[in-house]
Structure 1
Amino acid sequence: MSEIQGLGYMRNLLAKKQGRVSLRYKHYEMKNRPRDLLLTANTKVGFLNSMLGWIPKAVDSLADRLVFKGWKNDNFNLSQIFQMNNPDIFFDSAIISALIGGCSFVYVGLDEEDFPRLEVIDGRDATGIIDPVTNLLTEGYAVLERDPKTDVPVLEAYFLPDTTTYIRKGAEPETLLNPTGIPLLVPIIYRPDAKRPMGHSRISRASMSLLQGACRTVKRSEVSAEFYSFPQKYIIGLSQEEDEAFEKWKATMSTFLTITKDEDGDSPTVGQFTQQNMTPFTEQLRTFAALFAGENGLTLDDLGFVSDNPSSAEAIKASHESLRLTARK
Structure 2
Amino acid sequence: MEYGIEYLRSKLRTKAQRVNLRYKYYDMKSTVRKITALIPPEFKTVAYSLGWCGKAVDSIADRMFFDKIEKDDFMLNEIYSQNNADILFDSSILSALISSCSFLYIDKDYDGYPTIQCVDGGNATGIIDPVTNMLTEGYAVLKRADNGEALLEAYFKPGETVYYEKGKSEPVDVLTHKAPYALLVPLIYRPDARRPFGHSRISRSCMDIVQCALRTLLRTEVGAEFYSVPQKYIVGLSQDAEFNNKAATLSTFLSFSKDDEGKVPSLGQFQQQSMAPHIEHMRMLASMFAGETGLTLDDLGFSTDNPQSYDAIKASHEQLRLSTRKGQRNFGVGFINAGFLAACIRDDTAYERRSFANARVSWAPIFEPDASAIGAIGDAVYKINQAVPDFVGENTVHKLTGLESDAE
TM bucket, shorter chain: over 0.9
- Name the SS for the 1:167 alignment partner: strand
> Structure 1 regions of 5+ residues with no counterpart?
none
Q: How many residues align?
A: 324
> Structure 2 regions of 5+ residues with no counterpart?
327-408
Whether 2:264 is the aligned partner of 1:267: answer yes
After superposing the two structures, state which structure 1 stretch, 306-315 or 295-304, moved more.
Answer: 306-315
Equivalent positions of 1:1-329 (< 5 A) are: 3-40=1-38, 43-148=41-146, 150-171=147-168, 172-173=170-171, 174-242=173-241, 245-307=242-304, 313-329=310-326
Q: Give the Cα–Cα distance (whole angstroms) in 2 for the partners of residues 241 and 197 of structure 1.
A: 77
Structure 1 segments of 4 or more deviating over 4 A?
A: 40-44, 308-313
Q: Deviations over 1:49-76 (max 9, x none)?
A: 3211100100000111111111101111
Cα 1:40–1:178, aligned 2, differ >3 Å: closer, same or farther? farther
Q: Give the Cα–Cα distance (whole angstroms) in 1 for the partners of residues 9 and 27 of structure 2.
A: 26
> Does the CA contact (< 8 Å) of 1:40 and 1:46 recur in 2?
no
Q: CA RMSD in A?
A: 1.4
Q: Give the Cα–Cα distance (whole angstroms) in 1 for the partners of residues 205 and 246 of structure 2.
A: 45
- Letter aligned with residue 135 of structure 1: N
Taking CA–CA contacts closer than 8 Å with sequence separation of 6 or more, which of the two structures ends up with the larger relative contact order?
A: 2
Q: Deviations over 1:95-114 (max 9, x none)?
A: 00000000000000012222
Q: Give the Cα–Cα distance (whole angstroms) in 1 for the partners of residues 72 and 308 of structure 2.
A: 43
> Does the CA contact (< 8 Å) of 2:145 and 2:151 recur in 1?
yes
- Name the SS for the 2:267 alignment partner: strand
After superposing the two structures, state which structure 1 stretch, 283-292 or 310-319, moved more.
Answer: 310-319
**Normalising by the residue count of structure 2, what TM-score does the alignment of the two structures yield?**
0.77
Q: Deviations over 1:174-195 (max 9, x none)?
A: 3221211110000000000000
Cα 1:4–1:320, aligned 2, differ >3 Å: closer, same or farther? same
TM-superposed deviation, 1:315:
3.4
TM-superposed deviation, 1:240:
1.8
TM-superposed deviation, 1:138:
0.8
> Does the CA contact (< 8 Å) of 2:39 and 2:222 recur in 1?
no
